Structure 1
């Protein structure tokens, strides 16, 4: 953790509230025109919040998830395959795996870090 202070666990800021509100408004607007666009916005913004604020997973895992979503969504838009239900199911499976893997790392610092990683404070002090 590159932070100068030890601050593990769930986090929420004013900017997070702004992003969530803008995402909800965008999803509502797009969803009223094209259902899957609204769902896709909620899906992406929701995963952003889970990855950055709740489980606080590593950047590489975030990029893996985002790349997979963009690739599957682009294929669906261009060829109608694999389809939106498959995109959402595949990305939920991937996010579940990435969160599971992250919570087993020695530097896990997301929600429930005390239960999953009770030695985090010592690891953090040593690695500074």
Structure 2
């Protein structure tokens, strides 16, 4: 029998063994690339770290995640075309995009990530499925 009932909604930080495994694997890959002299090693922790932040900490909507990812790709391509392979030029431009995405998400009535109890007055509506 198939149930149309949705599982209960939760809020706050999410962390599992799978998350730990992905973070450890990403750190290992970044280290491996760096010791082999790959100048683009920093892309791995940027991508994995933001994936964790967006999915587990701030629970960012998929469309914001995809827009952020597109901006990262364009940002990195621009800096690589300019000959800047280091982490600072691209990250210097990407951090404001990250803060914008997180800020927009936290102002949403559907926000249910970390600190949702403090910043979302409509959290109960979201958790009860009224939004």
TM-score bracket, normalised by the shorter chain, equals 0.7 to 0.9
Structure 1 residue 50 and structure 2 residue 92: aligned?
A: no
Q: Distance in 1 between matches of 2:48 and 2:120?
A: 27
Unaligned runs of 5+ in 1: none
Alignment correspondent of 1:100:
103
Structure 1 residue 16 and structure 2 residue 6: aligned?
A: no
TM-superposed CA distance for 1:35, in Å, is 5.6
State the secondary structure of the residue aligned to 2:101.
Answer: helix
* Normalised TM-score (structure 1): 0.86
Who wins on radius of gyration, i.e. which is larger?
2
* Larger proportion of helix: 1
Q: Distance in 2 between matches of 1:57 and 1:86?
A: 25
The number of aligned residues is 126
TM-superposed CA distance for 1:120, in Å, is 1.1
Structure 1 residue 89 and structure 2 residue 92: aligned?
A: yes
Cα 1:83–1:32 change in 2 (3 A) is: closer
State the secondary structure of the residue aligned to 2:42.
Answer: helix
- Runs of 4 or more, structure 1, over 4 Å off, are 81-84
Cα 1:90–1:12 change in 2 (3 A) is: same
Q: Distance in 1 between matches of 2:130 and 2:100?
A: 27
What RMSD, in angstroms, separates the aligned Cα atoms of the two structures?
2.1
Cα 1:82–1:24 change in 2 (3 A) is: closer
